[in-house]
A = this chain, B = another copy of it.
Amino acid sequence: MTESVTCEYFLKNNHSLKKFIDDNKGEKFVLVTSGGTRVPIEKNTVRFIDNFSTGKRGSSSAEYFLQNDYFVIFFYRDTSLKPFDRSIEKMFDHLKVNNDNMLAFDGIDKTKQQKFLNILSLKNKYKKNLFLISFTELFEYYEALKVILSILRPLKKDVIIYLAAAVSDFYIDEKHMADHKIQSRNGEILLKLTPFKKGDIIELLCGSKENFLVTFKLETDEELLYSKSKKSFEYYNHQVVIGNILSRRSKEVILYTPKEKGELSETIINLSKEETEKNVDIEEKIVKYLCEIHNKYRC
């Protein structure tokens, strides 16, 4: 079975992650963060601010890292997609119980059946190479990330930190937070969003200098992408920033790496028409490219 813990449990007891790393000494590791973080609006939380992320990028990237012989620590939002499950979820709609009281496919052809079986086989093949930790809220994410990074730090160049989670830049300060569910009868409401302190994040990541750091930028405004990615390199000791424009993120990304004088090299990874038709995941190409750079970095 894949080891699986919640953030809450992990913050009290992290020896199973340490064991996962010890048991696989000498291997390559990757931390994949995935999904969005929740920011509560009320102390007794009924409502929260969230992010469109389904965790598709993180979960499919994790699958390809596994298939590239990485051991994966998958740190994901409890409601978002898990590796492999995203592709077999629909299997439920095509299963029945047959006369022998056994599971059987129903109403789909052999090719589709085989596709499901192949993914299930992959899931089982790699289950011991995968370690799951789930989070829900922004502050929980940061607390646990701090601990995970400190455990991974000694792996030095053998670990990729791949921060695909869509982490909120804002939170609602407790002093501005209602105790109970906000009532609508009182008319319009102003919510005060406080930007998360960049300093805390920089400090967190700067401790992991030797690890191979990949972060993501997502914008809807194309003009901001280069300049904001450049800023990222000034803050952290980065290897790669993966730039996304919301509307075409599943078909094209820009990989930024350092060039000279603070400028960035841009490598565009995209899907050809043929690949799009064949439902190729862009993450397969992103991960392949990163594995190549990471291998060079390790030497």
Contact = CB atoms under 8 A, between A and B. Distances in A.
A191 B188 contact: no
A132 to B, nearest CB: 11
Contacts of A149: none
Contacts of A41: 49
Given A92-B88, A169-B184, A189-B170, A117 B104 contact: no
Interface residues of A, number: 63
Nearest to A91: B92
Contacts of A96: 120-121, 124
A18 interface: no
A196 interface: yes
A interface majority secondary structure: mixed
A174 to B, nearest CB: 15
B181 A220 contact: yes
A47 interface: yes
Nearest to A221: B180
A187 interface: yes
Interface string A146-190: 000000000000000000001011100000000111111101111
Nearest to A176: B188
Contacts of A299: none
Contacts of A247: 44
A219 interface: yes
Contacts of A169: 184
Closest 4 CB pairs of A and B: A169-B184, A44-B220, A184-B195, A191-B191
15 contacts: A41-B49, A45-B52, A48-B52, A50-B50, A96-B121, A97-B124, A170-B182, A170-B189, A181-B220, A184-B196, A188-B194, A189-B192, A190-B190, A191-B191, A191-B192
Given A45-B52, A88-B92, 12 more contacts: A46-B220, A47-B50, A47-B51, A47-B168, A48-B51, A49-B50, A96-B120, A181-B218, A184-B196, A185-B195, A188-B192, A189-B193
